[in-house]
Amino acid sequence: MNFEEIIKEVYEKKKLISDEGQLADYIPELKLVDPDKFGVYISTLHYGHFGIGDCYDRFSAQSIAKVFSLTLAYSILDSKTWERVGVEPSGTSFNSLIQLELEHGIPRNPFINAGAIVICDILLSHLDNPKEDFLAFVRSLSGHGEINYSDKIASSEKKAGYRNVALCNLIKAFGNIENDPVDVLDFYFDLCSLEMNCEELSKIFLFLANDGFTLHDQRQILTRSQTKRINALMQTCGFYDESGEFAFKVGLPGKSGVGGGIVAIHPKQYAIAVWGPRLNAKGNSYKGMRFLEEFTTRSEQSIF
């Protein structure tokens, strides 16, 4: 399988397209990112790894980090996780409040903001030092200790995150938040501020392509069954109200973030991370989506 050649060709082609996306401007600090950055990195189980473009520049992981928080919560609570958050696509935008009122504070899934906030609440209740312990967990997935939160991004979002404050308070009113909403939100904004590059992201996500085992130290993070379920959730909910389109055009489980990153995995094959900061109307990387669509078409490597 010659991933390298296909990635090079698709990268050069997509680099030239006119990017119709916009930077996420509701988090002021994200507006300062160079909108033309574009990087790709693939880590495979059997064919090595390869990166191109700005794949070593760190950027704001944002909602991609929700996969790590869900993984940690799921490894602690197992199926009890689903008493607090559902497993259905929402069909609404990532920060929507509408369903929460109708569904009594049980978020549709762990990848919309409401669901990720409940997952943060679970972690606050179960970790001694949530911020430090969560970072240590992410670092252990990556195999090295350089990954960090960005204080700048976190404080920028803390000042402007009104919708998330509303979501957390509404869930609390329904009794599905145990801790003080101030602490839950503080942790949520910190986890969204994690900074990583495409190489690090693709390496971290490899355990989801490898039956729950890290590649660098063969540690079991989740059971096989739990791993399949995280992948099923990424497939059905990873791109919010564009999850159907991502399955339709790309055909891989994946997760996006408003920092412009997308990571997708092919079970037993690879994890690929793409970064292009301009977002489409659904809050997903415009170039990232286009790149992955052509990559899976050319490599004939979608899961379907």
Per-residue binding string, ligand GLN, 181-200, x by CB under 6 A, is -----------x--------
Work out which of 53, 115, 130, 257 binds ligand GLN, going by CB under 6 A.
257
| CA distances, 230 to each of 66, 264, 266, 267, 291 (Å) | 11, 12, 13, 12, 23
State residue 52 phi and psi, 5-degree precision: -150, 155
Residue 115, judged by CB atoms within 10 A of its CB (0-12, 13-18, 19+), counts as buried
Q: Would you say 41 or 94 has its CB closer to ligand GLN?
A: 94
Nearest residue to ligand GLN by CB is: 63
Q: Would you say 142 or 164 has its CB closer to ligand GLN?
A: 164
Minimum distance of ligand GLN from residue 234's CB (angstroms): 14
Total site size for ligand GLN, rule CB under 6 A: 11
Q: Would you say 7 or 241 has its CB closer to ligand GLN?
A: 241
Tokens of 124: 């606050």
User: CA-CA distance, 107 to 24, in Å (whole number)?
Assistant: 23
Q: Would you say 95 or 236 has its CB closer to ligand GLN?
A: 95
User: CA-CA distance, 264 to 127, in Å (whole number)?
Assistant: 28
Strand 261-266 versus strand 270-275 pairing type: antiparallel
Work out which of 164, 236, 243, 280 binds ligand GLN, going by CB under 6 A.
164
Say which residue the tokens 């919560």 belong to.
73
User: CA-CA distance, 113 to 66, in Å (whole number)?
Assistant: 9
Minimum distance of ligand GLN from residue 62's CB (angstroms): 3
Minimum distance of ligand GLN from residue 8's CB (angstroms): 28
With a CB cutoff of 8 Å and minimum separation 6, the contacts of 12 are none
Work out which of 157, 195, 200, 242 binds ligand GLN, going by CB under 6 A.
157
Work out which of 6, 50, 52, 62 binds ligand GLN, going by CB under 6 A.
62
User: CA-CA distance, 122 to 287, in Å (whole number)?
Assistant: 34
User: Are the C-beta atoms of residues 64 and 263 closer than 8 Å to each other?
Assistant: yes
Work out which of 43, 44, 63, 280 binds ligand GLN, going by CB under 6 A.
63
Q: Would you say 210 or 284 has its CB closer to ligand GLN?
A: 284
Q: Which of residues 193-252 bind ligand GLN (CB under 6 A)?
A: none
Q: Which of residues 66-125 bind ligand GLN (CB under 6 A)?
A: 94-95, 113
Say which residue the tokens 């911020």 belong to.
131
Q: Would you say 44 or 164 has its CB closer to ligand GLN?
A: 164
User: CA-CA distance, 228 to 217, in Å (whole number)?
Assistant: 20
Minimum distance of ligand GLN from residue 192's CB (angstroms): 4
User: Are the C-beta atoms of residues 104 and 83 closer than 8 Å to each other?
Assistant: no
The 3-state DSSP class for residue 262 equals strand
Q: Would you say 62 or 231 has its CB closer to ligand GLN?
A: 62
Name the site residues for ligand GLN (rule: CB under 6 A).
62-63, 94-95, 113, 157, 164, 192, 257-258, 283
